Every structure is written in structure tokens, then in C-alpha cells.
Amino acid sequence: MPLRHLLVGSGPASIAAAEAIRSRDLTAEITCIGAEPEGYYSRPGLAYYLAKEVPEGSLFPFTDHDTDALGITFVPGTVVSLDRAARTVTLESGRTLPYDRLLLATGSIANPVHVPGGDLDGVVKLDDLRDARDLARRAGRGKAAVVVGGGITALEIVEGLCSRHVDVHYLMRKRRYWGNVLSETESLLVEDGLRQRGVEIHYDTRLAEILGDRGKVTGVRTESGDTIHCDMVAVAIGVHPRVELANDAGLECARGVLVDEFLATSDPDIYAAGDIAEVFDPGTQRRSLEVLWSSAVAKGRIAGLNMASGPIHAYDGGAPLNVTRLAGFKLTIMGTVGGGEDSDLEGIVRGDSEAWRQAGEATMVESQAGDAHVRLALGTDTIVGGVVMGDQALSFPLQDLIGARADVGAVIERLKEPGAPIARIVDDFWTEWSARA
Amino acid sequence: MGAFDWFRSDRAKSEALASAWVVPEPTRCVQCGICSFYCPVGIDVRRHVWRGEPVKDSRCLTCGECVKRCPRGLLRFEKAGTMRRLSTRRGR
Ligand SMILES: Cc1cc2nc3c(=O)[nH]c(=O)nc-3n(C[C@H](O)[C@H](O)[C@H](O)COP(=O)(O)OP(=O)(O)OC[C@H]3O[C@@H](n4cnc5c(N)ncnc54)[C@H](O)[C@@H]3O)c2cc1C
């Protein structure tokens, strides 16, 4: 009898798992259950949809033909319970589906804001396509918005609303944007970029209350007693993995669903991948969360291979990477680059890796190189992290060197010299290194 | 001048037309679809990226639209047949 693989969630982790299972087993039954009726789409692409750079229809990477060719059955619906003894899941509709191997890939969801008025009509977030449509519908000339939070999503909302001619007020609890990942210079570059787009930044400002009239947002009151009038309040203060299903079924969970390096949960027939997987790395002895598309794909693939063939493929988180655009700057973040807390955020955000904030003792060097601002986090004889802002040419060699944990001992002292031409040193080193490799 | 600006020059374009194809860096892709949306001949560039393959489609005009539009800068022209990336040296 063919093995029955059930995938809960229709994001990139499940899709990558389905492809991996099919690559090993032509006869397996693969069923994907997704709470969003739209199925699989590019969640990060929502930012570009909001900024009017791509139409909604283009956010869907797979056609029905592709899913048919892969032999996946898509079942729309929300899984409400998991019976591990019977090996079944039950949907909200009451339908029960059996499995031999189960993948949990339910993603993450925005943290709600806990202030009076937090449930008014006009308090918005950006988790999914429905939210993006809602934001687009509410936006327009003559409207005003207050955005609270940080990380990538807050700025994607800010920029999307700016593209739709909304007057945007961005509230920051302290004096720096994304202070536990970016350097002071990088934060300043982003903040300047936002001001150039017409965004009003309110520093040292905490939201005290969201004001409303007849159930609808009319403004906010800050802790210092100021009032800002607005039509919507967008909240991006962080996300948390959706672990309820796993938790209720008695699987070991902490912030996410705990998995070993093979991405198996505490039940060997159940795997977890994507945003919800809190992975144990035997190398660092650390568990970490990542809310990254590329990590979701990589974890999905490994989980799928192991679901099809048994736990033999280990996940290597390597140097997590994200490329994004903040206030018009392309920005690549690689490896470990920061540390500490950011008062605008609760825990992890989207497009974020906890590994980025484990720079510890690393020495930071940064410089402007042509159209790029480059920062390196230097370990004893490796580059443990890097941030490239603006022109991205140097980010590719850096990605190679950081990912391979290349020994850069020969140039490390030169990189630390004040005023060192960092970009040139790295590029020259990489050219020789890659020729040798 | 960075590598991407370098490519935008006309000379670079005509050289690319003769000898280059578009190659992706798949780990940077979030499948947003902008590349496929703007391709004037309707190539599903995004699918090539998902598979980690260069755009070898005979319809490709090497017009550079996908390279220019990708919000993450993960598409580059590379000499056909080579798998290595553009060195930043080219931008100098
Ligand atoms: C606006 C935005 C911008 C982002 N930007 C970036 C970026 O720049 N770079 C980056 O790397 N990442 C970014 N991300 C994050 C990235 O999209 C996620 O890390 C990735 O989608 C996670 O994939 P996943 O498969 O784990 O889960 P998801 O893509 O979240 O999919 C999970 C699915 O499971 C469904 N589900 C949940 N519970 C159930 C249930 N009980 N039953 C059935 N279905 C269920 C959900 O409805 C959802 O459709 C961004 C995300 C957003 C929203």
C-alpha cells in the first residue's frame, strides 16, 4: 500500500516537502491541507503587491497543472486536532484524514497589540493575502496611518502605504530602527530613507491607546499624552509560531515545535518544518527559530526526504541569509551580525533569524564602498556575519565566504585596520579563494 | 559602479546578447513573481529560479528586464556555460 503523507499548511515548507517526497517515492499519497483557500503563494511577495509592484495574480508560483503533475491533493480547511494514537487529523468541517507520516508546517502569526482599542476596526497587520487586500482597500490619498513595531514587516507596511499615498507616522519606542540587527549607521541610513519618502518618524514614542469612534479607529494617544489622528493603525511588533495543534497533541514544544536535526518531532512519525520548527543544532548546542522563506524551503526539503526514506538527512542551518529592501536600499543580512534586544519588537519578526543576534564577541568593522555600505562581523579567523546595504555586488562573495566558514586569517588584521578598504580586501581574497576552491 | 550598473550599459547588453544567460542565486529568492510578470516573452523565470537553473529558454531575449526588476538582485547575467558568478571586479 502506498505511504500516506499528510502535510498541514500550504506554505513553502509543505511544497518543498511534497517535491522531496515525490522525488523519492512515485506512488506515495501526498495530501496538503491549507487553511487559506488561495493555497500556496509568495508571502514575502505581499510587500510588493502592497507597493503595487506586482499584481495579486502573479504571487502564485504554481499552477493547478503543476500540483497535478506533482501528484498532490490539496484539501482546503483548518486542522483542529491531531490524534497520534489513531494517526488521524480532524478538520474544522469534521472530516477526518489518516496519515502514515505527518508534516506540521503551520507557519507563524502576528503578535497582537495589547493596548485599549486594540480590537477596533482599522487595526491592521500583514500576515497573509487577506490582510494585504485589506490594507490595500483601506489605503488611499487623504488617509493617514500610524505604524508601530519594527523589523522588515513594519517597514514594508510603511513603504506600501507610502506608495498608496497614505500619510504615514512611524512610532519608535526608542531612538533606533532595528537596533539588535543593524548598526547605528545602517539604522540612520534607513531612517533618512524613510524621511525622504515623507514618513514622519516619532522617536521615543510609545502607543498608550488606540482611539475610536463607533468601533472605528480615529487616532492614537501616546504615553506622553499626544494625539495623532489616523484612519488605521498597523501593528508589526513580532510573530510567534503556530504551535497550538502540536501542543494540544502532546508534542514537545517550547517557542516552536521542538525538532531534532532530522526535523522529527518527539513523535518519530511527525515532522515539523518552516517557521514553526525550533531546530536543535548539535554543533552549537542551541535551539533556534527562523522566520525565513529560504529556511522554510530548506527545512521542508529535508523533512520531506526523511518522511520518505527515514531520518537520514540532517538539516544544516548554515549561515541564515535574507535579502530585503528597506527604505529603498537593497539589504543582505548574513550569518551573525547583531545582539541584544529591540524595544519595538517582541521576540522574532518575519524575514528574521535568531542566529543573526548571536554575534557575541565578534569584532564589527564597517565602511562605505562606492554605492554600498558594508559591515563585517569578524571572528578569530572567519567572517561570521555581514551586512551589505545598497549595491549588492559584494554580497555574493561574502555569502560564499561566510557560508563556507572560510579561513580568512591571512587578511583579518588588515580588515580591522581603521579606514581599511573592506570591500576591496574581501573581493581580492574571494577571487583567489574561489579560484582555489 | 557596481556589477549590476555595469550590466545596464549598452555595451554590456550587446555582449550579453551574444554570450550570456540569466542565472539565479536561489537561496535569495522568495518567489514573488516580479521576474516572470515583467518578462516580455512570458518565460516563467521564477520557476527556473526555484529549480536553481539558468534561463536557457530559446525565447529569452537577454533584455535584462528580470535582472533589473528583481527586488532582491538575485538574477545576474553570466557567460553561457560557466556556473560562477560575476566578480565584483567587473564593477570597477
Ligand atoms: C509580509 C511578509 C514579508 C516577509 N518577508 C520575508 C523576507 O523578506 N524574507 C524572508 O525570508 N521571509 C519573509 N517572510 C517570511 C516567510 O514568508 C515565511 O518565513 C515563510 O512563508 C514560512 O513558510 P511556512 O511554510 O513555514 O509557513 P507559511 O508560509 O506561514 O504557511 C503556513 C500555512 O499554514 C496554514 N495553517 C496554519 N494553521 C493551520 C491549520 N491548523 N490547518 C491548516 N492550515 C493551517 C496557514 O494558514 C498558512 O497558509 C515574510 C512574511 C510576510 C508575511
Touching check for A55 and chain B: CB below 8 Å? yes
What confidence category does residue A329 fall into, taking pLDDT thresholds of 50, 70 and 90? very high
Residue with cell 555569502: A399
Q: Is B12 on the interface with A (CB under 8 A)?
A: no
Quote the pLDDT of residue B84.
46
Q: How many CB atoms lie within 10 A of CB B48?
A: 24
Q: Mind spelling out the 3-state secondary structure of B34-58?
A: HHHHHCCCCCCHHHHHHHCCCECCC
pLDDT at B91: 30
C-alpha cell at A207: 502607543
Could you list the beta-strand ranges (E) of A71-166. 72-76, 79-83, 88-91, 96-98, 101-104, 108-110, 123-124, 144-149
Please tell me what DSSP assigns to residue A261.
T
Give the CA radius of gyration of chain B: 12
Q: With contacts defined as CB-CB under 8 Å, which chain B residues touch A42? A: 30-33
Ligand 1 mean position to A238 CA, how many Å?
13
Hey, which residues does A102 pair with through a beta bridge? A6, A270
**A61 to B33: CB separation less than 8 angstroms, yes or no:** yes
Say whether B20 sits in a helix, a strand or coil: strand
The pLDDT value recorded for residue A240 is 96
Is pLDDT at B13 greater than 60 in this prediction? no
Query: Tell me, what's the pLDDT at A103?
Result: 98
Lowest mean pLDDT among A38-47, A358-367, B55-64: A358-367
CB pair distance less than 8 Å for B91 and A370: yes
CA dihedral sign, ordered A414, A420, A425, A426:
positive
pLDDT tens-digit map of B65-81: 999 999 999 999 987 75
Contact criterion met (CB < 8 Å) for A48 and B47: no
Q: How far is the CA of B6 from the centre of ligand 1 (A)?
A: 36
A42, A54, A106: residue to mutate for ligand 1 pocket, most atoms within 8 A of CB: A106
Kindly tell me if the per-residue pLDDT of A365 is higher than 50. yes
Give the domain B20-92 fold. Answer: Alpha-Beta Plaits (3.30.70)
A404 touches chain B (CB under 8 A): no
- Residue A251 Cα to ligand 1 midpoint, Å, equals 21
Task: For chains A and B, count residue pairs whose Cβ atoms are closer than 8 Å.
Answer: 93
Q: Is A353 in CB contact (< 8 Å) with chain B?
A: no
CB contact under 8 A, A58 and B47: no
pLDDT of residue B4: 43
**Residue in B2, B33, B85 nearest the CB of A391:** B2
B chain contacts of residue A331, beta-carbon cutoff 8 Å = none
Across A147-163, b (16+ Cβ under 10 Å) vs e yields bbbbbbbbbbbbbbbbe
Residue nearest to atom 33 of ligand 1 (CA): A9
Both ends of chain A: CA-CA distance in Å? Answer: 46
| CA A247 – CA A326 distance, rounded (Å) | 36
| B53 touches A at CB < 8 Å | no
pLDDT-above-90 percentage for chain B? 55
Which of B1, B5, B7, B32 is the best residue to mutate to test the A interface, defined by the most A CB atoms within 10 Å of its own CB? B32
- Could you tell me where the beta strands, DSSP code E, fall in A247-320? 257-259, 270-272, 277-281, 286-288, 290-291
pLDDT grade, residue A286 (50/70/90)?
A: confident
C-alpha cell at A186: 545602517
* Ligand 1 contact via A398 beta carbon (within 6 Å): no
Highest mean pLDDT among A114-123, A359-368, B58-67: A114-123
Q: What angle do CA A72, A73, A78 make, to 5 degrees?
A: 120
A322 in ligand 1 pocket by Cβ < 6 Å? yes
Comparing CB atoms, the residue among A45, A321, A372 nearest residue B32 is: A45
* Cell matching residue B22: 540569466
Question: Distance from A310 to chain B by nearest Cα, in Å?
Answer: 24
Partner residue facing B34 (CB), from A54, A330, A395: A54
> Any CB–CB contact under 8 A between B5 and chain A?
yes
Q: Which amino acid is at A231?
A: D
Give residue A437's pLDDT band: very low, low, confident or very high (50, 70, 90): confident
pLDDT above 70 for A72: yes
Q: Region A133-148: what's the mean pLDDT?
A: 97
Residue B90 has pLDDT above 60, yes or no: no
Q: Contact at 8 Å (CB) between A263 and A272?
A: yes
Q: H-helix or E-strand containing A158?
A: helix A151-163
Q: What residue type is A352 in one-letter code?
A: D
The residue type at A429: F
Residue A372 with chain B: CB contacts under 8 Å: 2
- Asked whether A316 and A337 are in contact (CB, 8 A), the reply is no
Please give the distance, rounded to the nearest whole angstrom, from the Cα atom of residue A275 to the centre of ligand 1: 7
> Mean pLDDT over all residues of chain A?
94
**The pLDDT value given to residue A341:** 80
In this predicted structure, what is the pLDDT of residue A300? Answer: 98
Which residues in chain A are closer than 8 Å to B31, comparing Cβ atoms?
A: 12, 42, 45, 61, 293
Three-point CA angle B1, B6, B12, nearest 5°: 160
Average pLDDT score over residue span A198-215: 97
Structure confidence by residue, pLDDT tens digits, A243-281: 999 999 999 999 999 999 999 999 999 999 999 999 988
Whether residue A330 lies within 8 A of chain B, CB to CB, comes out as yes
Mutation pick from A19, A40, A42, A424 vs chain B, by most beta carbons of B within 10 Å, is A42
Give the lowest-confidence range in A18-32, A298-312, B56-70.
B56-70
